[in-house]
Amino acid sequence: MIDFINFHLIPGLVLGSIYALGAIGVTLTFGILRFANFAHGEIMTLGAYLTLTMMWLTGWHPLILLPVTMVILSLIVIGMDQAFFKPFRNSPAVTVVIASFGLMLMIRSVTQFSWGAQLQAFVPGIQRPNVFFDALRISPKHILIVISAMVLMLVVHWVLAHTRIGKAMRAMSDSPELARLTGINTELVIKATWILGACMAAAAGVFLAYDSHVSTMMGFQILLPTFAAAIVGGIGRPYGAMAGGLLIGVTEELSSYAWLGDGPLLEPGYKAGVSFAIMIGVLIWRPSGLFRGRVF
């Protein structure tokens, strides 16, 4: 039982927290701007590399540098919106999706050219886990990642529920036309959406890199499970994205536990398929997702 907690449940909570943060940005973009942003994974990667560069310059801990990364990445993402997405505001959704796919490839190329394609690490070597009750082993970085992720999710909840811009974002998600008629500054809402999504993407990228390593493909590798988390939770529902991310992250890790016999139920290489199996099952049972999101 203790091996189940040490090697499957705790890593599942860590991975689920990262998926949840990434899925918040995906679901906000989909719910408010009405398109799937395939560049979101590369934005996560860019956040990790920006943090790595600042670590080289300052020697500070990546979580201390995370707020600075959020600010820088937010400015970059707003610039991307003005250059690549604003001209297509009134275009069909498929046009904007193709633009985001092209932007994804551009960001990846810039990242590889600027930092190289080799693996990097925030913290060299292997950290020793803390031991509790002589058996429970929890890595300090896992504690920091889960606690930080939960704090950020609470911040998202506060912004959406208790601020004017958050209420305007919810109104625009329900009906952009009605939001304009009621005098809501939709361009300001769009900028706020990109900023909030960029901040969560920065956190997801930094946490993922802190947990493993920095790679130019790291964001792309978790992009599809992140999309699955957003769909499972319900498109346009940030709280659903949080729940969907945790559900998929935990289930992926638990799928490799020895539930039957001595070997893993599924080999670790099949984990990516688990998220899509969950997504298909949820969509068959409830097409709008767990939190009754949009159905197109």
The 10s digit of each residue's pLDDT in 12-47 is: 999 999 999 999 999 999 988 888 899 999 999 999
Q: pTM, whole model, 2 decimals?
A: 0.92
- Residues 6 or more apart whose CB falls under 8 angstroms from that of 1 comprise none
Query: Rounded to whole angstroms, how far apart are CA atoms 110 and 112?
Result: 6
pLDDT at 125 exceeding the cut of 80: no
Residue 35 half-sphere exposure, CB side, CA atoms within 13 Å? 24
Closest CA to 218 of 139, 144, 110, 108: 108
Q: What is the pLDDT of residues 172-226, one digit of tens each?
A: 888 888 888 888 899 999 999 999 999 999 999 999 999 989 999 999 999 999 9
Give the pLDDT score at 296: 53
Q: pLDDT per residue over 132-179, tens digit each?
A: 777 788 888 999 999 999 999 999 999 998 999 999 998 888 888 888
- Work out the angle at residue 163's Cα, subtended by the Cα atoms of residues 234 and 67, and round it to the nearest 5 degrees: 85
pLDDT, one tens digit per residue, over 20-29 is 999 999 999 9
What's the rounded Cα separation, in Å, for the pair 73 and 62?
15
Nearest to 17 by CA among 247, 286, 294: 247
Question: Domain 2-285: which CATH class?
Answer: mainly alpha
List the chain domain ranges: 2-285
State both tokens at 75: 């400015």
Of the candidates 107, 96, 110, 86, the one whose C-alpha atom is nearest the C-alpha of residue 39 is: 107
Report the chain's mean pLDDT, rounded to a whole number.
Answer: 89
